[in-house]
Amino acid sequence: MSIDVNHRRRNLLAGLGMVGMLGSGGLSRAALNRCLATPAVWKNWSGTQSCMPAERLSPASEDELASLLKNARGTVRPVGSGHSFSAVVPTDDTLLSVSRLAGLLRHDAQAKTATFGGGTLLSKTGQPLRNVGLGMQNMPDIDYQTLGGLYATSTHGTGVNHPSMSAQLTAMRLITPAGDALDISAATPELFNAARVSLGALGVASEFTVQCQSSYRLKESMQIRRTEEILEDIESLITGNDHWEMQALTHSDYALAIALNETDEPANSSGSEAEEGGNEYLAMIEALHKYGANFPALRRKLFNLIAGQVAFNDRVGDSHAIYANVRNVRFNEMEYQVPREAGPDCLREILSVIHGKNLATWFPIEYRYVKADDIWLSQFQGRDSASISVHQYYEMDYHELFAIIEPIFWKYGGRPHWGKLHTLNGRQLKSLYPHWQDFQQVREALDPTGKMLNPHLRSLFTVA
């Protein structure tokens, strides 16, 4: 029997109206800000991070943003779509969203650059860029994030010739805690190297200018193979494709290999029936874990049997439609970047420990590659990296799994993703980043009172 699953690739992993009223005259700007300022619980996407800020503000202009930052009391934290798993956002003082400073503001067809408002959702960039003949050079496999959150945490896609999204920035406009507007680019190198990945510790960006390329289509090809066979063939796979990744199926000997390459082939469809096929496959994996955890040897045989039966059709479409995928199942995530050459051995050790200790998890482990950049707090600063992500279903406790796996990343010199769960503090992190102190000097100059620092950031930057 063969299961033909033509589905969004992340379905294997993930399921694997106030502003409108303002526009129609239903609420004044002042009334809207009063509503947004009413205390209410904020939670991130997975539900692990929460706070009850005294104020939740959403300025409608850059001038208003500058005024709010300048006059805010206590801690101010920028908030986007809440898709970070780490505690970069929570504060009981002021949450500040720039969701109303959004959209494609301008573009340069000759330079192939585009400028977006800081609160633009990544999902809202693809079609506007396509309409002007442009496309992002690379994208992550979800597009729920705001650009502000995405760049602040060095979010990335995959491909040995592609750095993180932050490295695509050519300029940005930063509003400092004092309310000053700074135009930042390569012409201001220290600010540029600090601000492109800042964890929101330098202020709030109102605009980003991104280096794009001419619009293009991608072809997605997927194949399930034995994990060890893939790792033995890894160099040809990552150098022979524009973008390549795999999802190693825990408690099995198989992994899903995913290749994306530019193509002139006509687009094809991947409708709702295909997505449902992916959901059914994920449900099978979950059920096998739930009912087979006490029989690990039998479970592994069943996992291998199911994996060997699955086939996938190729997908072709506009780049933004192929990169990003629907997530229907929530989870928590820990991700580290290890040196490129250490990636295979690190993954092998993680899979061996999960199998040997019969750890409770059924989500695939995501394995990608990212090119080095020169951004001070980028996880990829100065080194090509293999990115390895461990997930846990949001209703299952992640603490034991992550506590056992995290030291493996440390063994290989791993750097944690700023938006994912980890346990490192500033004393440990500063040895991983050659320009750690350079960033601290810029941060202290722009925010001498620590207005942008919540407890998590104070721990990272060892500020009392």
Mean pLDDT of the chain: 89
Q: How confident is the model at residue 296 (pLDDT cuts 50, 70, 90)?
A: confident
For residues 403 and 397, the answer to whether their CB atoms sit within 8 Å is no
Q: How confident is the model at residue 274 (pLDDT cuts 50, 70, 90)?
A: very low
Residues 235 and 347 in one domain: yes
Residue with tokens 């942008």: 452
Residues 210 and 223 in one domain: no
User: Residue 22: pLDDT above 60?
Assistant: no
Residues 205 and 245 in one domain: no
Q: For 8, what's the count of Cα atoms within 13 Å in the CB-facing half-sphere?
A: 23
Tell which residue, 175, 184, 151, has the closest CA to residue 64.
175
Q: What is the DSSP-derived secondary structure letter of residue 293? A: T
**What are the distances in angstroms from CA 168 to CA 106, 147, 155, 343, 404?**
16, 12, 11, 24, 35
Domain-located, residue 452: no
Interstrand relation of 55-57 and 94-96 (parallel, antiparallel or unpaired): parallel
Once rounded to an integer, what is the mean pLDDT over residues 412-419? 98
Q: How confident is the model at residue 277 (pLDDT cuts 50, 70, 90)?
A: very low
Domain-located, residue 456: no
Tell which residue, 312, 303, 280, 407, has the closest CA to residue 364.
303
Summarised one tens digit per residue, pLDDT across range 238-251 is: 999 999 999 999 99
Lowest mean pLDDT among 113-122, 176-185, 288-297, 339-348: 288-297
Q: How confident is the model at residue 24 (pLDDT cuts 50, 70, 90)?
A: very low
Once rounded to an integer, what is the mean pLDDT over residues 431-444? 97
Domain-located, residue 131: yes
More confident site: 268 or 262: 262
The reported pTM is 0.89
Q: What are 106's strand-pairing partners?
A: 115
Q: Which among 39-53, 98-112, 289-303 has the top mean pLDDT?
A: 98-112
Which of 215, 236, 253 is the C-terminal boundary of a domain?
215
Q: What is the pLDDT of residue 446?
A: 98
Summarised one tens digit per residue, pLDDT across range 55-79 is: 999 999 999 999 999 999 999 999 9
CATH code of the domain covering residue 267: 3.40.462.10
Summarised one tens digit per residue, pLDDT across range 340-398 is: 999 999 999 999 999 999 999 988 999 999 999 999 999 999 999 999 999 999 999 99
Q: What is the pLDDT of residue 182?
A: 98
Domain-located, residue 411: yes
Spatial separation of the C-alpha atoms in residues 224 and 237, rounded to whole Å: 14
Q: How confident is the model at residue 25 (pLDDT cuts 50, 70, 90)?
A: very low
Tell which residue, 169, 107, 111, has the closest CA to residue 132.
107
Residue with tokens 């207005």: 451
Residues 61 and 174 in one domain: no
Which of 186, 215, 244 is the C-terminal boundary of a domain?
215
Domain-located, residue 434: no
Summarised one tens digit per residue, pLDDT across range 146-195 is: 999 999 999 999 999 999 999 999 999 999 999 999 999 999 999 999 99
Summarised one tens digit per residue, pLDDT across range 306-327 is: 777 777 889 999 999 999 987 7
What are the backbone dihedrals phi and psi of residue 459, each rounded to the nearest 5 degrees, phi first?
-65, -45
Domain-located, residue 454: no
Spatial separation of the C-alpha atoms in residues 5 and 187, rounded to whole Å: 49
For residues 282 and 12, the answer to whether their CB atoms sit within 8 Å is yes
Residues 199 and 305 in one domain: no
Question: What six digits make up the tokens of 338?
Answer: 């290890």
Tell which residue, 285, 326, 292, 327, has the closest CA to residue 309.
285
Once rounded to an integer, what is the mean pLDDT over residues 284-292? 69
CATH code of the domain covering residue 191: 3.30.465.10
Residues 89 and 169 in one domain: no
Residues 117 and 142 in one domain: yes
User: Residue 92: pLDDT above 70?
Assistant: yes
Q: How many domains does the chain have?
A: 3
Domain-located, residue 463: no
Q: What is the pLDDT of residue 33?
A: 53
Residues 391 and 275 in one domain: yes
Residues 73 and 83 in one domain: yes
More confident site: 295 or 435: 435
More confident site: 216 or 275: 216
User: Residue 284: pLDDT above 80?
Assistant: no
Q: What is the pLDDT of residue 8?
A: 46
Domain-located, residue 233: yes
Residues 332 and 403 in one domain: yes
**Domain assignment of residue 49, given as a range:** 17-96
Residues 245 and 299 in one domain: yes
For residues 380 and 373, the answer to whether their CB atoms sit within 8 Å is yes
CATH code of the domain covering residue 30: 3.30.43.10
Summarised one tens digit per residue, pLDDT across range 208-264 is: 999 999 999 999 999 999 999 999 999 999 999 999 999 999 999 999 999 999 999
Based on the number of CB atoms within 10 Å of its own CB, is 272 exposed (0-12), middle (13-18) or buried (19 or more)? exposed
Give percent above pLDDT 70 in the chain: 86
Residues 236 and 361 in one domain: yes
Q: How confident is the model at residue 461 (pLDDT cuts 50, 70, 90)?
A: very high
Spatial separation of the C-alpha atoms in residues 224 and 134, rounded to whole Å: 33
